[in-house]
Chains A and B, each alone.
Chain A
Amino acid sequence: MHRVDLFPTHKYQGLKLRTGRPYPFGATVIGNAVNFSVYSRYATDCTLVLFHNREEKPFIEIPFFKEFRLGNVFSMMVFDLDYENIEYGYRMDGPFCPEEGHRFDKSKILLDPYAKLIVGRDVWGKQPNWDSLYQYRARVVFDDFDWENDLPLETPVNDLIVYEMHVRNFTCGAAAGVKHRGTFAGIIEKIPYLLELGVNCVELMPIHEFDEFENFKPSPIDGHPLYNLWGYSNVGFFAPKAAYASSGRFSMQVDELKNLVKRLHANGIEVILDVVFNHTAEGDQRGPYISYRGIDNKTYYMLTPDGYYFNFSGCGNTLNCNNPNVRDMIVESLRYWVTDYHIDGFRFDLAAILGRDQNGNPMSNPPLLESLAHDPILGKTKLIAEAWDAGGLYQVGSFPSWGRWAEWNGKFRDSIRRFLKSDEHVLADVKERILGSPDLYASQLSSFGGTGRGLKASVNFVTAHDGFTLMDLVSYNSKHNEANGEDNRDGENNNNSWNCGWEGPTDDADINRLRHRQVKNAVTLLMVSQGIPMVLSGDEMGNSQQGNNNAYCQDNEIAWINWNDLEKNADIFRYFKQMIRFRRRHKVLRYDDHLSHTDYRNLGLPDFSWHGVKAWHPESGYNNLTAAFMLNGQYTTPASVVGGFPADTSPLSPPDDFIYVAMNMHWEMHGFELPHLPEGLAWHVFANTGMEPPADIAVPGEEPLIDNQHEVLVGPRSIIILVGKETR
């Protein structure tokens, strides 16, 4: 059978045309035609502009005839295009009337907001032709990647160990030892490393197309170029960053990224994308015309009553997320990444903006967030909010979730950092964080899904791309961002960091020992806390950014991971690796629901208990700098199986071990009295950050028995983890 509606009805300058299909938006191959469809509520006319690849001048401009319009959509089919060799754009005509929100300019050639393949910045740092009329150029995508049997992994949320990574920073360093440095293919080469570390999810900092030359300037220190390295500035919401693909020069970034996802999945590693739906790269009224401003300014942007750009993002403009059409675009973009790229989850940058109405006011039931929470295609996709914005909205603990959204738990970061530097006023808060922040997530208003959000709502982290690396957190009291060219004014001032006695690198062995111990303390607290742990890439080898806590523009050794650190800080890597294995081994560290602190099944001991330097006396200790807790592994079995008798447990889900953690952030040693274990079990030591390697950590499952079963001595600023299990 052949379709009867794929015959041309029009001819224009030698090209054969037909009325297009308004849906889907973008450029779609249908038979021997390409269907071009674009909407604009306020445009009066639209022209399709076609180029041969990389040519400055278009070879044809085709107006959308009256019969090519339906509602506010312009669509046409163009037949017999060699679409591998076509770039397309639009000219939009309409009012230029900024005070009413309109900025149409038909002299500009505009990128399709639904472009799935964008060229023009194909090789990182290669100067484009700045005089070119059309900078970021849409192409028709090949969407027939052969996934074989791959699908998103759907790993249970509480089993995730997230590894936040930047595509360039991860493998650009000279010592990375990969063939394709700084690219998707480079990450593939490092999969064995990720497996050894033990993480099962990579969160990629923005990989949507952006322009590294945005706000490009020379460094005040040595004149090298300061690029937009991080890419929190979208050119397109449907296209991958070309220059992140080693094959970007051949415009094969789509296949290369898909291959990365497929290969990670084959190794049990999920992929979360950091997505930036709060603003675009067009900036404010002084910025360039890339797409949205010229296609339909009033639809895409939140505008002040006099037509200027609201700036809740801190980046010049704010995407009009709760305009119904923009909302649809966001939903379509996310569906596309899940459907076509098999993406497992998204982390939404400055997500609080997604809950603001078209005038910028926070909404109580934001329709966009509700749509995403209930979307069928995103039904098992992880949704993680950075629950604040640059306009002062802070929603950690109150982000509208409908039981689906998790949050970057900024309070975990702040409390744990303060505890690490021996702040005596934070222990009560630290206890909440270790428990998965029940104060924030154990209940939420019924309108957002009824009962508590559970432990899967909290993404715990001590460090992330914003701020110090973990090694810098224990090496610097203040930020050192001079190289960013803003006189050290940029970046967070309130870091809760402590340099351990000297600002920056030192040869002092005692200070360096303490720094290593503090790094280990930090990852210990992260891995023994309930919730979803997230590690900043490079922290596992003590990577430093030389005190720069905002390295967004440092496309050099400052931000690139120094793989030589892997050898230099071998003890840190080993500690991370075993700590991650320990967490993955012990279900008792990865509960679904908040703990009850009671023995509700009459097993003899509660599911969770706080202790002090005296067992069962949490109040006993030193100035809020000491605390201990015990997790009861018997509670990891399903209630119906246990029935009050641990011996009855199913062989498929044996009870976990007991885990006891003693934390001493005081600068002196303290003895901790140990709680008694049930008959037949004894305490074994898994980790002691106060010990020199290799005695600082054991291989999980091979922990040595401790002689004294009644008390442990925990050294200054140290943490001990004991495992209560049968002695073999």
Chain B
Amino acid sequence: MAKLYGKELQLMAAKARLLAVEAVYTAASGHPGGSLSSMDILTALYFNELNIDPSRPRWEDRDRFVLSKGHCTPALYSLLALRGFFPLEQLKLFRSIKGHMSGHPDMRHVPGVDMSTGSLGQGLSAAVGMALAAKLQGKAHRCYVLCGDGELAEGQIWEAAMAAAKWQLDNLCVFVDVNGLQIDGRTADVMPTQPLDKKFEAFNWHVIKIDGHDFEQILSALDSARSFRGKPTVILASTVKGKGVSFMENQAGWHGKAPNDEQFAQAKAELEKTIKELEGN
């Protein structure tokens, strides 16, 4: 597949946002807020950065991706489907007993999922293990992770952060989707995790700060991470929770709630308009 850039990435992200919201609407359950905030990051990964092959989901030399904030399956599954790991039709079975599109990623049943996650704080450790395994086996592939800023309150994240620095895992690149909101409200109120740049610097990481909705910045950060030696990279991406659907934006209430018929109709109209505009240019 040819890598996507600029407008092409924006268009793909808009399509994926619509699929994600539709999956949550169809399931009447799921997590739209963080899926929408992280969608641009994930689109850049799946359509530009990751060296993967949908026809061989278990290919040994593929880049790995771990969704440590495992509840953002609406985003992950939509992108995996768009990337060709399974038919778009499967998204209709999101969270349904009739399929295996579980609420949180299941590596045993969903093609393209490299690690089962869902219990927050654990995915980063698994990615550290994958990065260590790659080094031990002399493999060149890279390991990517997406964490939430609320998730960083989990102590295990910082255990893993120490380990990644100890073993100088420069084949590990972590995005933090810094949308500033979590289920109970503002991350700054629930349990402040900032200042994240200083924390990760103190943990001996290579730190990059970007706007998580600016593809140029996302791709340039990925370039920088790829060429950096001796330390793992964390990309602190400022994002808007619910990005792309006006009434969901910056609302903690949309962390884990499905839209009703009327709300879905509005979200769909907004996203279709975005898609049309991007296609028009």
Partners in one complex: no
Interface residues in chain B, defined as those with a beta carbon under 8 Å from any beta carbon in chain A: none
